[in-house]
Amino acid sequence: MAYDEGLADRLREHLAPVTRVSEHEMFGGVSFMVGGNLCCGVLGGDLIVRIDPTLHHDALTRPNVSEFTMGGRTSKGMIRVGPRGVADEDELALWLRLGIAHATSLPAKKAKARKKAASPAKAKKKAATAEAKKRVGPAEAKKRAEPPKAKRKAAPAKAKKKAAPAKKRAGRARK
């Protein structure tokens, strides 16, 4: 589902002075996070705002505002504002202030560590292994990759049998 790029650009302008803002495509739209917490987003032509749950009921009394529903479920504190509800810059600024206030009231989330790119040598080895699997099949490739199992030695069992008679002989000599 496409989202309203014009509304997304307006959100970017309003969120420019705010620190720790990141933008992510999710739910078929675009979402803006402040400190790792959802602040607002655009879904279709509507503005989605995460507000303080205690303000949820009051927000629903405003025109062009409805509960945000995803997968048949509603979430207290998530609202959907129709295009008419954000046509005026003052109205848009009001909703963004509420979203920013709630997102900044929550503890900031740590940025997730990104995986490092594999070194060229590791990438080459991985590609060679994948090529080998294609040629011989996954079962044969697995056998080749595993180190050979060590064979069990029978010597320790024989040593125990030899040691027992020696003790008996030692016991007889004492008597």
Q: Tell me if the pTM is above 0.85.
A: no
Tokens of 167: 């003790």
The C-alpha atoms of residue 97 and residue 83 are separated, in whole angstroms, by: 18
What local confidence, expressed as pLDDT, does residue 159 receive? 52
Q: Got the DSSP string for 115-131?
A: PPPPPHHHHHHHHHHHH
Q: Tell me: the pLDDT tens digits for 34-62?
A: 999 999 999 999 999 999 999 999 999 99
What local confidence, expressed as pLDDT, does residue 2 receive? 84
Compute the CA torsion angle 95, 110, 22, 70 (nearest 10 deg): -60
What local confidence, expressed as pLDDT, does residue 141 receive? 60
Q: Got the DSSP string for 32-82?
A: EEETTEEEEEEETTEEEEE--GGGHHHHHTSTTEEEEEETTEEEEEEEEE-
Residues of the chain with pLDDT under 50: none
What local confidence, expressed as pLDDT, does residue 171 receive? 55
The C-alpha atoms of residue 168 and residue 172 are separated, in whole angstroms, by: 6
What local confidence, expressed as pLDDT, does residue 53 receive? 96
Q: Where are the chain's structural domains?
A: 5-105, 118-144
What local confidence, expressed as pLDDT, does residue 110 receive? 80
CATH of 5-105, one of 3.30.230.70, 3.90.1150.30, 3.40.640.10, 1.10.645.10: 3.90.1150.30
Helix axes 138-145, 120-136, angle to 10 degrees: 130
Residues 6+ apart with CB under 8 A from 106: 35, 37
What local confidence, expressed as pLDDT, does residue 85 receive? 95
Residue type, 128: A
Residue type, 136: V
